[in-house]
């Protein structure tokens, strides 16, 4: 089924003229009400040079008062217009400032056509290359490069050709199948809707013609997919609603529901509030099955003939959107459609230089940086490569503490090791092992500053447990850094990996039925949250050893504070690196209180 809506994204650097260009396009195609046009003759941006009584085209796409006051575009503004063939064009005006790249990336993920503006008076800038790179990663089908403001340079052909040559060199490394270059002036209207009389040397399409001539790529012949968005229930009725992708469904088709892998047949299809015999790609429908099966929001419906390859390991490209860097080994929430699962970036393979296309080794990604990563999810997912399906190949990463969206990702492929590993259950399990020892297996996670007393308290607690015939083990941060974690430093990324490894070892020891005491600084709340997520309810007890930094410095049992003060340890927690106090610890003990009293408090939550 051919798309009835075409989505156009406009992007580029600040002041390249995006809002003005869209405004003129809307006015010259009679897509703006008369009274709205009249209002733009009366309102002026701060510092505007447009004469009174003339149209300020840029105001037609501004949605925030702050944008008019600052003379920039902050949010993504949306407008629509009708095309000659009856389709509806949805225009997204993305912000040009670097700090709003996240807005542009989200709009690009849905765009069919990308309109990238270049200010001819300033040439190609970093943000231009970043936007082209994002268009490539996000699968934008056609890119129109509009070289704007040529009226300010006498409409010189040589300037247009120089900019085109520069960009073609950069575009040669990007996966953009269809690129059109157009010289124009948004302010004067040259080559926007009608042919320019000032640039008779250009014989190509106008902007409107380039948009009108776009056609969607031929769809791959494949099996239908639908992710359940809503379970509809009524008397004697249960339907599963969603949008069809990658094919079609017919009544009597045999389908499979993932992850339950149950097979059934479609008995009824409802679209547009009426029963139909079949539905095609991109249609919103409700499916009714012949038999009652276990299916819920987020589950996947596919043809029973399709071979699914669920995996919990993926290679992906990611655009980082947050001012706090992406940390390797830190856990985030991965959202794909209505599916949500914890996920860890296990490896940052490289970051992409938007200027050269080169790949640079990296251990983190900063805001607006683009990189290639490997991701491990807690549950298997049936994601496809983004090049095959935007719907089933995209995801976002969300911070587990703030629930802010921090990254936008595109799946390249699943990793085979994620498909070939199956969890093996054993009859002698954690419960049996703990029962044999007449105890409840759990981990006591002691966190606090260096010198706060974590190891001293852990040692005293274990002595008391041993005296009572209980089976325990202490995982000490420094001891593990002499062996298992000897390769790790003290950067945020290395600390995240340090906590990840320690928590995985603790999980194995808890599975063995032991009481595990962990004495480790673990300065970041997100890493401690991830550690806790590995354990069953009640198995993870977070104990905050709350000792004032002044006392820790005075104690300085290992001489580390003195070294840090002299600049010898740049990432030392409490001096060169932040310690994030636990938000909701299960227990707080004072490192400067009586040791026996602190031990007794901890024993009460163990025994």
DSSP-assigned states of every residue in 514-555? -EEEEE-----HHHHHHHHHTS-TTTEEEEEE---HHHHHHH
Q: How far apart (Å, rounded) are the C-alpha atoms in residues 523 and 577?
A: 9
Residues 146 and 39 in one domain: yes
Residues 408 and 550 in one domain: no
Written in H, E and C, the secondary structure of 65-128 is: HHHHHHCCCCCCEEEEEECCCCCEEEEEECCCCHHHHHHHHHHHCCCCEEEEEEECCCCCCHHH
In DSSP terms, which residues pair with 242 in a beta bridge?
Answer: 285
Calculate the CA 489 to chain-centre distance.
Answer: 27
Domain assignment present for 106: yes
User: Going edge to edge, which strands form the sheet with 515-519?
Assistant: 472-476, 515-519, 442-447, 540-545, 587-589
What CATH number does residue 242 fall under? Answer: 2.40.30.10
Burial class (CB in 10 A: 0-12, 13-18, 19+), 253: middle
Residues 161 and 265 in one domain: no
User: What pLDDT is recorded for position 53?
Assistant: 56
Judged against a pLDDT cut of 50, whether residue 532 lies above it is answered with yes
242 contact partners, CB below 8 Å, separation of at least 6: 226, 227, 228, 229, 230, 284, 285, 301
Comparing 153-162, 191-200, 278-287, 437-446, which segment has the lowest mean pLDDT? Answer: 278-287
Domain assignment present for 53: yes
Domain assignment present for 218: no
Residues 448 and 570 in one domain: yes
User: What pLDDT is recorded for position 64?
Assistant: 42
Residues 415 and 497 in one domain: no
Of 458, 382, 91, the closest CA to residue 228 belongs to 382
Indicate the DSSP class of residue 325.
Answer: P
Which of 268-282, 339-353, 434-448 has the largest mean confidence? 434-448
- Supply φ then ψ for residue 38, to 5 degrees: -60, -35
Domain count, the chain: 4
Domain boundary at 366, 384, 419, which? 419
CB distance 570 to 431 below 8 Å: no
Domain assignment present for 360: yes
Q: How far apart (Å, rounded) are the C-alpha atoms in residues 508 and 320?
A: 33
Residues in the chain: 607
- Two tokens, residue 227: 């992710």
User: What pLDDT is recorded for position 66?
Assistant: 45
User: What pLDDT is recorded for position 68?
Assistant: 44
Residues 253 and 320 in one domain: no
Residues 506 and 456 in one domain: yes
- For the annotated catalytic residues, the residue numbers are 522
Indicate the DSSP class of residue 150.
Answer: G
User: What pLDDT is recorded for position 344?
Assistant: 92
Comparing 182-186, 362-366, 396-400, which segment has the lowest mean pLDDT? Answer: 362-366
Judged against a pLDDT cut of 90, whether residue 220 lies above it is answered with no
| 73 band by pLDDT with thresholds 50, 70 and 90 | very low
Q: What percent of the chain has pLDDT over 70?
A: 88
User: Three-state DSSP class for 229?
Assistant: coil
pLDDT, tens digit, for every residue of 81-130?
A: 888 677 888 888 777 666 666 677 777 888 899 999 999 999 998 888 88
Judged against a pLDDT cut of 80, whether residue 569 lies above it is answered with no
User: What pLDDT is recorded for position 602?
Assistant: 95
| 575 band by pLDDT with thresholds 50, 70 and 90 | confident
Of 148, 150, 114, 111, the closest CA to residue 132 belongs to 114
Residues 75 and 181 in one domain: yes
- Mean pLDDT to the nearest integer, 159-187: 92
| 523 band by pLDDT with thresholds 50, 70 and 90 | very high
Average predicted confidence (pLDDT) for the chain:
86
Of 6, 12, 5, the closest CA to residue 115 belongs to 12
The residue whose two tokens read 């990663």 is 137
Q: How far apart (Å, rounded) are the C-alpha atoms in residues 530 and 343?
A: 10
Judged against a pLDDT cut of 60, whether residue 62 lies above it is answered with no
Q: How far apart (Å, rounded) are the C-alpha atoms in residues 422 and 420?
A: 7
Q: How would you classify the pairing of strands 142-148 and 113-119?
A: parallel
Judged against a pLDDT cut of 80, whether residue 3 lies above it is answered with no
What CATH number does residue 505 fall under? Answer: 3.40.50.300
The dihedral through the CA atoms of 29, 30, 36, 37 has a sign that is positive
Q: Which secondary structure element, helix H or strand E, spans residue 465, and what is its range?
A: helix 454-467
Judged against a pLDDT cut of 80, whether residue 191 lies above it is answered with yes
User: Three-state DSSP class for 509?
Assistant: helix
Nearest-10 crossing angle of helices 126-137, 101-108: 30
Q: How far apart (Å, rounded) are the C-alpha atoms in residues 451 and 50?
A: 66
List C-alpha distances in Å: 491 to 296, 476, 497, 522, 576.
42, 19, 10, 12, 10
Buried b (16+ CB within 10 A) or exposed e, 573-584: bbbebebeebee
The dihedral through the CA atoms of 329, 330, 333, 337 has a sign that is negative
pTM score, two decimals?
0.72
In DSSP terms, which residues pair with 238 in a beta bridge?
Answer: 233
- Supply φ then ψ for residue 93, to 5 degrees: -95, 100
Domain assignment present for 237: yes
Residues 443 and 521 in one domain: yes
Domain assignment present for 28: yes
| Conformational region of residue 416, where left means phi above 0, alpha means psi within -120 to 50, and beta covers everything else | alpha
Residues 74 and 202 in one domain: yes
pLDDT, tens digit, for every residue of 34-60?
A: 666 666 665 655 555 665 556 666 666
Calculate the CA 192 to chain-centre distance.
Answer: 35
Comparing 160-164, 278-282, 378-382, which segment has the lowest mean pLDDT? Answer: 278-282
Of 62, 59, 61, the closest CA to residue 38 belongs to 59
Q: How far apart (Å, rounded) are the C-alpha atoms in residues 220 and 246?
A: 7
Domain with 269, as residue range(s), is 225-303
- Supply φ then ψ for residue 380, to 5 degrees: -65, 140
pLDDT, tens digit, for every residue of 499-520?
A: 999 999 999 999 999 999 999 9
Domain assignment present for 390: yes
User: Three-state DSSP class for 236?
Assistant: coil
Domain assignment present for 425: no
The residue whose two tokens read 């990463």 is 397
Domain boundary at 169, 186, 212, which? 212
364 contact partners, CB below 8 Å, separation of at least 6: 325, 326, 327, 328, 348, 492, 493
Long-range contacts formed by 429-433: CB under 8 A, 24+ apart? 429/511, 430/510, 430/511, 430/512, 430/513, 432/513, 433/511, 433/512, 433/513
Residues 299 and 316 in one domain: no
Residue by residue, DSSP assigns 295-316 as: --TT-EEEETTS----EEEEEE
Residues 203 and 57 in one domain: yes
Residue by residue, DSSP assigns 38-62 as: HHTTT---TT--PPTTS--GGGGG-
Domain boundary at 282, 303, 324, which? 303
**pLDDT higher for 453 or 105?**
453
CB distance 8 to 91 below 8 Å: yes
| 134 band by pLDDT with thresholds 50, 70 and 90 | confident
User: What pLDDT is recorded for position 98?
Assistant: 67
């Amino acid at each position: 089924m051919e798309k009835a809506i075409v989505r156009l994204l406009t992007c580029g650097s600040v002041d390249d003229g995006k809002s003005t260009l869209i405004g003129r396009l809307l006015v010259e195609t009679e897509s703006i009400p008369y009274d709205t046009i009249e209002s733009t003759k009366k309102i002026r941006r701060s510092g505007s040079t447009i004469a009174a009584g003339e149209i300020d085209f840029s105001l037609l796409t501004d949605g925030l008062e702050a944008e008019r006051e600052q003379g920039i575009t902050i949010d993504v503004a949306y407008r629509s217009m009708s095309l000659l063939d009856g389709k509806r064009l949805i225009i997204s005006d993305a912000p040009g400032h670097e700090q709003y790249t996240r807005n542009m990336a989200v709009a690009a993920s849905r765009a069919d056509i990308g309109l990238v503006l270049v200010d001819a008076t300033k040439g190609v800038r970093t943000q231009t290359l970043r936007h082209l790179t994002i268009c490539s990663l996000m699968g934008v089908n056609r890119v129109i490069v509009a070289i704007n403001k040529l009226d300010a340079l006498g409409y010189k052909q040589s300037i247009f050709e120089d900019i085109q040559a520069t960009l073609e060199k950069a575009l040669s490394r990007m996966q953009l199948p269809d690129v059109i270059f157009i010289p124009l002036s948004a302010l004067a209207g040259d080559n926007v809707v009608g042919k320019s009389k000032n640039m008779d040397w250009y014989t190509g399409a106008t902007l409107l013609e380039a948009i009108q001539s776009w056609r969607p790529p031929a769809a791959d012949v494949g099996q239908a997919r639908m992710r359940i968005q809503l379970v509809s229930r009524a008397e004697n009725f249960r339907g599963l609603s969603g949008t069809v992708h990658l094919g079609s469904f017919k009544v009597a088709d045999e389908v499979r529901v993932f992850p339950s892998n149950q097979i059934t047949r479609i008995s009824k299809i409802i679209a547009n509030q009426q029963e139909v015999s079949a539905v095609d790609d991109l249609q919103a429908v409700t499916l009714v099955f012949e038999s009652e099966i276990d299916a819920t929001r987020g589950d996947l419906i596919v043809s029973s003939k399709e071979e699914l390859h669920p995996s919990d390991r993926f290679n992906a490209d990611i655009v980082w959107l947050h001012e706090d860097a992406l940390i390797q080994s830190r856990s985030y929430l991965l959202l794909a459609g209505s599916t949500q699962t914890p996920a860890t970036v296990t490896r940052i393979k490289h970051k992409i230089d938007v200027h050269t296309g080169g790949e640079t080794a990296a251990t983190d990604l900063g805001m607006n940086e683009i990189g290639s990563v490997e991701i491990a999810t807690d549950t298997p997912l049936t994601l496809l490569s983004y090049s095959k399906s935007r719907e089933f190949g995209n995801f976002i990463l969300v911070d587990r503490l703030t629930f802010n969206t921090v990254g936008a990702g595109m799946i390249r492929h699943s990793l085979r090791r994620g498909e070939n590993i199956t969890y093996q259950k054993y009859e002698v399990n954690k419960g049996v092992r703990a029962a044999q020892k007449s105890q409840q297996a759990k981990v006591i996670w002691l966190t606090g500053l260096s010198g706060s007393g974590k190891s001293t308290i852990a040692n005293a607690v274990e002595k008391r447990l041993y005296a009572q015939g209980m089976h325990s083990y202490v995982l000490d941060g420094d001891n593990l850094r002499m062996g298992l974690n000897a390769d790790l430093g003290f950067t945020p990324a290395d600390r995240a990996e340090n906590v990840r490894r320690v928590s995985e070892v603790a999980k194995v020891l808890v599975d063995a039925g032991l009481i595990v005491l962990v004495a480790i600084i673990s300065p970041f709340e997100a890493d401690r949250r991830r550690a806790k997520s590995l354990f069953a309810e009640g198995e993870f007890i977070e104990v905050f050893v709350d000792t004032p930094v002044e006392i820790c410095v005075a104690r300085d049992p290992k001489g580390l504070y003195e070294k840090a003060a002299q600049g010898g340890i740049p990432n030392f927690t409490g001096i060169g690196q932040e310690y994030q106090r636990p938000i909701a610890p299960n227990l707080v003990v004072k490192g400067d209180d009586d040791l026996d009293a602190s031990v007794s408090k901890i024993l009460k939550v163990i025994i």
